[in-house]
Structure 1
Amino acid sequence: MKSLPTDLTAADVIPARTLLGLGPRDQDIGNLHQLQLAPLRGRGSLRLAMGIGMALVAFLTMLHHVALPVAGGWLAGSLLFSLWSYSRFRNLPLGDPKLPGSAEYRMCNRHALYSALLWGLPFWLQGLAPGVDHILSMWTIAVLMMLTLAIVAHSVPLACALFIMPVSLSAAAALGLAGAPEIAAVTLVAGILLSAFCVRFAQIHIRSRRAEETLHEKSETVSLLLREFEETSADWLWQTDSNRRLVHVSPRLAYALGGTAEGLEGIPLLQALSGDAWETGLFPKSLHDMAERMKRRESFSNLIVPVSIDGRPRWWELSASPRLDESGRFLGFRGVGSDVTEQRATAEQIARMARFDNLTGLPNRLSLNEDLARALTRAIEAKSRCALLMIDLDRFKAVNDTLGHPVGDKLLAQVAARLKGLMERGMTCGRLGGDEFAVVLHNLSSPAVAEDLAQRIIATISRPYVVDNHQLFVGASVGYAIGPTDGATVETLTRNADLALYKSKDRGGNVVAAYVASLHAQAEERRVMEQELRGALERGEFELYYQPVVTAADGTLNGFEALIRWTNHKLGNVSPGRFIPIAEDARLISPIGEWVLRTACHEAMKWPSNLKVAVNVSADQLTDPSFASVVVSALAQSGLSPQRLEIEVTESVFLRDGGGAAQLLDQLIGLGIRLSLDDFGTGYSSLGYLRKTQFSTIKVDRSFVVGAAKGSIESIAIIRAVVALADSLGMSTTAEGAETELEVETLRSFGCSNIQGYYYGRPMPASDVLTLFRRPDDVAIAAA
């Protein structure tokens, strides 16, 4: 950055001519303009508000003396100028030390002059014979404007003077013509004094800024020298005599030991370092090692020893060599030392961070693996057992998505505290990451102990939590493996415990699962299925079946639900319940879902125009921002009307998403597509979903249909409540899984709108659907 002239010190005052930019052109003024402009940075809004406010005040005052059109014209001009000036200065790099600032400086002066010309007009709006009262009113407002400008822009005195003096001259001239020469003189003197004040204030400001820069440069220089000194010099020197007593104690060493140089002279070094332990003789091992080396007259380097200073533990790093005279006689030791307490604390903190979880304070994955390795080694040597429990929280993601990660982190801390409270001797719990925890059991007496601990963990974690005034509920799934029976290495035992955890999650969560050998076969089957799924689309192995949906009142066919089927050359016919979860985990569901959507729309175009097609959509598809464009493309390519397409979603969509899915569904509704809420009442139902998203249909799960037909009071109540809710919200209801005449009649009696199930037809391929429309009764399906 270019500096001010070197012949000027921070205490010197810059001449007014230089400050006003009126000095010789060849004078080096360095970064003066930037120092002047820097205070204006970020004050554009203040200047705009000041200009508009004062213009409005002046306008209201003018109305007593000036015609409204004239006053209004001046007000309009003032407001336009204020806005124009604000727009010109808004993005300027005022005070940027990397730029000269001359152009911005001249621009400030020009705008000040323009503003002065504008504010000099009100004194003449009554003509060449203005009234004194009007002029004095305008002068009062102008003085307030000048004072405000002097405060806001005092660092640019030329701009202040270019505003103050023309306005003052205009007011003085008007007062002179109005017959008030004395007041005119006062006005002119006031303008001159205020301009001089701005110059003086600017000199003080620039001197202060230059002093700050000089101080900053000196501080940086001193800091650089201190850093160089600390990097190249020891903290202190020390010496001992042949009896290992301190001699020639320096003030720095005395200060470090918390005493005086005279008081420490002749004191044994070990006594000075050990503090109260000198009386008991219970020295730390490192001090014993140092004493032995000094006794053997051996050199030592970078030896870290604990030191007690006034009862406070510290850590010193000491190095020393024996001192010998010309004849080789031992004189003692001379060495250097430094206090490394902070560095050691930092190193310990880093080591702790590498082995412990910052959020919960529990051991992390690395520390748990080491502890499991020790447990396995002891179990193998003692022919005993150990165990590894893997814990995964249920419904935790819903907490993160709905209440945010800070609440989720606090919940994890409470879970960790509960787990820690369950630990007994021979147990170690830790956090693996995310919402996964683990427990290592040493010297396990029987697998029943691991089973019992897992059950207690689930019961403890499942109790309600209160976080930031929210009552929260989460569960836990636990899988465990016994070592070395289920694995003699950390990797094997961890993998098998993880397989058991997957089994627990597959069973719905909140249960305990032990590792069994068959889990490997299931994992292998899952791996093969995922591998085959990756090429299923290219091989054309998928096919869509369609199940009829009829009107409950008269059995009239009103649409079909598209259901995917997969036939693989290795695996045969694979049910959707098996391969859909794998496709979701493998991130394959989006391309498969897109194929289903396009195929269903294409096939539906071959049906009568009054029939709809319903397509199930997964949560992963709805979190894809491009899904809406895929739907539009499928409709456009097939020619299907949006009103004939119904998208079916489950409530899990809202639990897994923070709001993006709801927005995407609103886009689909805007296209005219119908939405259906599937499996309502079987999961974490919330009326908020129905309030936020305009569903056209609520689907009743088969479990409630079967229960209602058997007279289950709970199922009957749920179906009636869903029907009533749908009716009140202007939605229809579709009951799934009706297989008997009794179930159909029951659903009709409850007022369900539509029925779907084997009673009216099983899922059928597209070719069989087309045969329905060739019959005379192509709009109805007779009861089987």
Structure 2
Amino acid sequence: MFARGVFYCPLTFLGYRQRVNKNPSDLPALPARLPALAVVGITSPGQDDWARLRGLQYAKLAKGVLPRMIAHGVAAALVFWIFWASVGPIAIAAWTAALAGVLYYGNRCDQGLADAESRRLTRDEFRKHWVAVVLISLVWCIPIVGFSLLAGPRELLAIWAIACTLSVGSALVVAAAPLGTIIFVTITALAAAITGLILGDYATSAITMFFAGLLCVGTIESARTYLTARIAEAGVAEKSEVVSLLLREFEENQADWLWQVDTNRKVRSISPRFAFALGKPPEEIEGKPFIQLIAGDAWETGHFVPSLHDLAERLKRRENFSNLIVKVTINAEHRWWELSGTPILDEQGTYMGFRGVGSDVTEQRESSEKIAYLARYDTLTGLPNRLMLNEALRDAIRYAEQWRTRCAFLMLDLDRFKAVNDSLGHLVGDQLLAKVSKRLKELMDDNTMCGRLGGDEFAIVIRDASEKGTIENLARKVIARLSQPYDIDNHTLYVGASVGSAVGPRDGNSVEEIMRNSDLALYRAKDEGGGEHFAYEPSLHASAEERRKLEFSLRRALERNEMSLNFQPVVDAHEETIVSFEALLRWNSQEHGFVPPDKFIPLAEDTRLIVPIGTWVLEQACLEATRWPRHVRIAVNVSGEQLIEPEFAASVIRALSQSGLEASRLEIEVTESIFLRDANIARAALEQVIALGCTVALDDFGTGYSSLGYLRKLSFSTIKVDRSFVQGAAQNSAESLAIIRAVVAMADSLEMTTTAEGVENAEEAELIRKLGCTKIQGYYFGRPMPAVEALSLFEDGGRLIA
């Protein structure tokens, strides 16, 4: 407890069980000699825990209540006997009552300090104590001053002797709390000295002050001694408690044990817990080689795991080791131990063996391995994830650079997977992904590794792709295997795969470059309809860069007024009068010039820029249509991206209200592809438009995923026959002719009109009339034209003469 002139004050001893992990050396430090004012209680240095010291001091007061009551009672009796004749019984009785009252108050205050040893003394408790002492002292001043002046010097000496006796008794009984004694002796001594001066007894006054000073000094020293002893006592007890708790904690911790081996590395001094960890009784362990006990079958074969071999070498070289993780075999079960050890040396430095501690960390090790697994493997498929694929590709690139070979990265995307997810739900989709993963694993060997990038995207790393045809052959096998049917929950599902590949270091020297380039190749494969493999070519990067620049320009096209509308007339098949116009979007970019619609429209849909652009087209087309005759309608093409927008119907209403166009003159044209994504949302949006009074036309019927269910679910006004069927019919294609006749017959029965697209000459126009189409659209009757030219067509009564 003592060091460099400072001792540590263990003021937290009684509350230590609530803070068992606190280091005793962290407890507040006090000076080697306690200050007198601090011992008395007048000052409390802020850096130390003096409130606890007060508790140690004043807890003694509660134990001295009865002796003090007896002492004051005897003293009061003596006062009654001394001053009975000179003062009278009434005055003495009144004084006795006052003394009893202040003693009662003081004793109640002191009894409240019975538990102060285990807590901090409050300022209020301290104040009450000295107030009570002052009151008692003042009550004793009454006989010292008042009674003595009436009786004379002889009685003063007697009453002062009584007061001195009470002061000395207080100093002896409650030495721990000197303030009460000092206050009492000071006040009574002053009263006696003043009274002696008044009576002319100067000797008594001097003796009184000398005795008071001496008693105060002695009281302070006695209190300092007592307090120092209590601090030391508490410190020893606390240190014992700390050691006891630490030992108990170690004994109760069954994950740790002590081990010891001799110079031959044989186990000695078996602890019960070490025997328990080995799964054998102590008598079977004593004298056995330590490595043999934990090596299992490897002891016979000599093929130790690296960690066990490391332990054996350290024991052999007599090296200290700490927190060494060792894979051991206990009763044919693999476990992980954490061992620390140090050589044992005698006084002469002779090696005596090894001693150390160990613990079983199998659970922690398994948790760490599980975390590491989750960080590198996909939880759904069990395949390596993007992180592990990146590491594998990085190693493959390093290997290729070292040995002058080639590596490859194949990026796979499932075809038609989204349709499975949307129609059958994500549970079936997840099962499908698991089966895809299983098929991919079957195609892998030691040179290849497959993994999942996320969603329905997978990847394959080929470590050595130097042999010609390696990449192409593997890509074809993957496409063929993944395209075979899948049986899931009584559903037979068909999905394909598209593959893009890049070769390192030819197509890139870094993981990022190779992955980006294989992604570009995959994008090309998807554009070609899927089910194909494309290798990266530098032109793909140029196309991607062009697409990026095109997208950047497209984002500013509206604000720069680069967009415009052309209008192509649709005529009555028999009268050849204009019945409507189809609004067609054109883009003349400042950077790229005129950009064809088949180039920028798909880009707008992929980036969802089609939504603001489509809204602009709708507003401009309606505004222009108000300049035409009232019987002429305007047809506006709408993308599926627009239909799934919650505000689509509101945009139609806004376009009609701002332009003043009648709803019946607006026709919304959609393709069958809108029903492949969020069909219910698209149908609900179109039903809202029909409810406004607009009509809906089905464009390019027969070229996509044609289904009569679409016609049954939604009230289309027009079916548009694609130009490929018109041209086929013009060439006497039996299939095209049959399709057109079937569409016309179906439309007539459903009370719909039909529009033939792509009519380019008189013969085709006449053929279409004979086949029964009600409207015709094509270059024969007019190419897409600006709004001014479209308006000028009505100068001839709206009849087009070819």
Verify: 1:525 aligned to 2:551, yes or no. Answer: no
- 3-state DSSP of counterpart to 2:291: helix
Verify: 1:313 aligned to 2:334, yes or no. Answer: yes
Name the stretch that deviates more: 591-600 or 283-292: 283-292
Verify: 1:250 aligned to 2:271, yes or no. Answer: yes
> Are the aligned partners of 2:255 and 2:360 in contact in 1 as well (CA < 8 Å)?
no
Match of 1:705 among 722, 726, 746: 726
Judged with a 3 Å threshold, the aligned counterparts in structure 2 of structure 1 residues 373 and 259 are, in CA distance, closer, same or farther, namely same
2:769 aligns to what?
Answer: 748
The alpha carbon displacement at 1:455 in A equals 2.6
The alpha carbon displacement at 1:559 in A equals 0.7
C-alpha separation in 1, matches of 2:745 and 2:336: 75
- Over residues 236-271 of structure 1, what are the superposed CA-to-partner deviations in whole Å (9 max), with x where a residue is unaligned? 332333332223323333222222223222222111
Verify: 1:239 aligned to 2:264, yes or no. Answer: no
- Over residues 134-191 of structure 1, what are the superposed CA-to-partner deviations in whole Å (9 max), with x where a residue is unaligned? xxxxxxxxxxxxxxxxxxxxxxxxxxxxxxxxxxxxxxxxxxxxxxxxxxxxxxxxxx
Verify: 1:664 aligned to 2:672, yes or no. Answer: no
1:687 aligns to what?
Answer: 708
Verify: 1:637 aligned to 2:639, yes or no. Answer: no
C-alpha separation in 1, matches of 2:376 and 2:427: 23
Match of 1:602 among 615, 620, 623: 623
2:602 aligns to what?
Answer: 581
The AA in structure 2 aligned to 1:332 is G
Judged with a 3 Å threshold, the aligned counterparts in structure 2 of structure 1 residues 438 and 231 are, in CA distance, closer, same or farther, namely farther
Match of 2:590 among 562, 566, 569: 569
- Over residues 352-406 of structure 1, what are the superposed CA-to-partner deviations in whole Å (9 max), with x where a residue is unaligned? 2222222222222222222222222232333332222222222221221222111
Judged with a 3 Å threshold, the aligned counterparts in structure 2 of structure 1 residues 348 and 521 are, in CA distance, closer, same or farther, namely same
2:41 aligns to what?
Answer: none
Judged with a 3 Å threshold, the aligned counterparts in structure 2 of structure 1 residues 499 and 630 are, in CA distance, closer, same or farther, namely same
RMSD between superposed Cα atoms in Å: 2.4
Match of 1:720 among 741, 747, 758: 741
C-alpha separation in 1, matches of 2:591 and 2:251: 72
1:781 aligns to what?
Answer: 800
Counterparts of 1:257-656 in structure 2 under 5 Å? 257-446=278-467, 448-656=469-677
C-alpha separation in 1, matches of 2:741 and 2:373: 59
C-alpha separation in 2, matches of 1:479 and 1:251: 63
Judged with a 3 Å threshold, the aligned counterparts in structure 2 of structure 1 residues 345 and 456 are, in CA distance, closer, same or farther, namely same
1:127 aligns to what?
Answer: none
Judged with a 3 Å threshold, the aligned counterparts in structure 2 of structure 1 residues 247 and 694 are, in CA distance, closer, same or farther, namely farther
Judged with a 3 Å threshold, the aligned counterparts in structure 2 of structure 1 residues 519 and 249 are, in CA distance, closer, same or farther, namely same
- 3-state DSSP of counterpart to 1:319: strand
The AA in structure 1 aligned to 2:376 is R
C-alpha separation in 2, matches of 1:240 and 1:723: 98
C-alpha separation in 2, matches of 1:346 and 1:752: 72
Judged with a 3 Å threshold, the aligned counterparts in structure 2 of structure 1 residues 494 and 334 are, in CA distance, closer, same or farther, namely same
The alpha carbon displacement at 1:544 in A equals 0.5
- Over residues 509-553 of structure 1, what are the superposed CA-to-partner deviations in whole Å (9 max), with x where a residue is unaligned? 222222222222212221221111111101111110111112224
Judged with a 3 Å threshold, the aligned counterparts in structure 2 of structure 1 residues 245 and 425 are, in CA distance, closer, same or farther, namely closer
Judged with a 3 Å threshold, the aligned counterparts in structure 2 of structure 1 residues 279 and 562 are, in CA distance, closer, same or farther, namely same
C-alpha separation in 1, matches of 2:667 and 2:486: 40
> Are the aligned partners of 2:433 and 2:456 in contact in 1 as well (CA < 8 Å)?
yes
The alpha carbon displacement at 1:273 in A equals 0.6
| Identity rate, percent | 61
Judged with a 3 Å threshold, the aligned counterparts in structure 2 of structure 1 residues 731 and 235 are, in CA distance, closer, same or farther, namely farther
The alpha carbon displacement at 1:447 in A equals 5.2
The AA in structure 1 aligned to 2:704 is G
> Are the aligned partners of 2:414 and 2:497 in contact in 1 as well (CA < 8 Å)?
yes
The AA in structure 1 aligned to 2:433 is L
Name the stretch that deviates more: 547-556 or 402-411: 547-556
> Are the aligned partners of 2:383 and 2:452 in contact in 1 as well (CA < 8 Å)?
yes
Name the stretch that deviates more: 558-567 or 237-246: 237-246
- Over residues 460-517 of structure 1, what are the superposed CA-to-partner deviations in whole Å (9 max), with x where a residue is unaligned? 2222222222222222222222222222222222222222222222222222222222
- 3-state DSSP of counterpart to 1:773: helix
- Find the structure with the greater CA-based Rg: 2
Counterparts of 1:133-148 in structure 2 under 5 Å? none
> Are the aligned partners of 2:757 and 2:778 in contact in 1 as well (CA < 8 Å)?
yes
Judged with a 3 Å threshold, the aligned counterparts in structure 2 of structure 1 residues 458 and 727 are, in CA distance, closer, same or farther, namely farther
TM-score by structure 1 length?
Answer: 0.67
C-alpha separation in 2, matches of 1:630 and 1:232: 71
C-alpha separation in 1, matches of 2:491 and 2:326: 50
Judged with a 3 Å threshold, the aligned counterparts in structure 2 of structure 1 residues 458 and 282 are, in CA distance, closer, same or farther, namely closer
C-alpha separation in 2, matches of 1:285 and 1:399: 49
C-alpha separation in 1, matches of 2:313 and 2:337: 18
Judged with a 3 Å threshold, the aligned counterparts in structure 2 of structure 1 residues 258 and 553 are, in CA distance, closer, same or farther, namely farther
The AA in structure 1 aligned to 2:502 is A
The alpha carbon displacement at 1:446 in A equals 4.8
The AA in structure 2 aligned to 1:238 is W
> Are the aligned partners of 2:385 and 2:451 in contact in 1 as well (CA < 8 Å)?
yes
Judged with a 3 Å threshold, the aligned counterparts in structure 2 of structure 1 residues 287 and 452 are, in CA distance, closer, same or farther, namely closer
C-alpha separation in 2, matches of 1:253 and 1:753: 96
C-alpha separation in 2, matches of 1:618 and 1:767: 26
Judged with a 3 Å threshold, the aligned counterparts in structure 2 of structure 1 residues 249 and 727 are, in CA distance, closer, same or farther, namely farther
C-alpha separation in 2, matches of 1:618 and 1:232: 69
> Are the aligned partners of 1:234 and 1:336 in contact in 2 as well (CA < 8 Å)?
no
The alpha carbon displacement at 1:682 in A equals 1.8
The alpha carbon displacement at 1:584 in A equals 1.9
Q: Kindly tell me the number of residue pairs found equivalent between the two proteins.
A: 556
Judged with a 3 Å threshold, the aligned counterparts in structure 2 of structure 1 residues 293 and 449 are, in CA distance, closer, same or farther, namely closer
2:131 aligns to what?
Answer: none
The alpha carbon displacement at 1:328 in A equals 4.2
Which aligned segments of 4 or more residues in structure 1 are displaced greater than 6 angstroms?
228-233
Structure 1 residue ranges without an equivalent (≥5): 1-224
The AA in structure 2 aligned to 1:650 is T
> Are the aligned partners of 1:394 and 1:475 in contact in 2 as well (CA < 8 Å)?
yes
The AA in structure 2 aligned to 1:781 is L
- 3-state DSSP of counterpart to 2:311: helix
C-alpha separation in 2, matches of 1:556 and 1:411: 55
- 3-state DSSP of counterpart to 2:439: helix
> Are the aligned partners of 1:401 and 1:658 in contact in 2 as well (CA < 8 Å)?
no
C-alpha separation in 2, matches of 1:420 and 1:730: 55
Judged with a 3 Å threshold, the aligned counterparts in structure 2 of structure 1 residues 354 and 725 are, in CA distance, closer, same or farther, namely farther
Judged with a 3 Å threshold, the aligned counterparts in structure 2 of structure 1 residues 292 and 687 are, in CA distance, closer, same or farther, namely same
Match of 1:765 among 783, 786, 791: 786
Judged with a 3 Å threshold, the aligned counterparts in structure 2 of structure 1 residues 442 and 593 are, in CA distance, closer, same or farther, namely same
The alpha carbon displacement at 1:325 in A equals 4.3
C-alpha separation in 2, matches of 1:619 and 1:302: 63
1:180 aligns to what?
Answer: none
Counterparts of 1:1-80 in structure 2 under 5 Å? none
The alpha carbon displacement at 1:229 in A equals 8.1
Structure 2 residue ranges without an equivalent (≥5): 1-245
C-alpha separation in 2, matches of 1:623 and 1:289: 65
- 3-state DSSP of counterpart to 1:370: helix
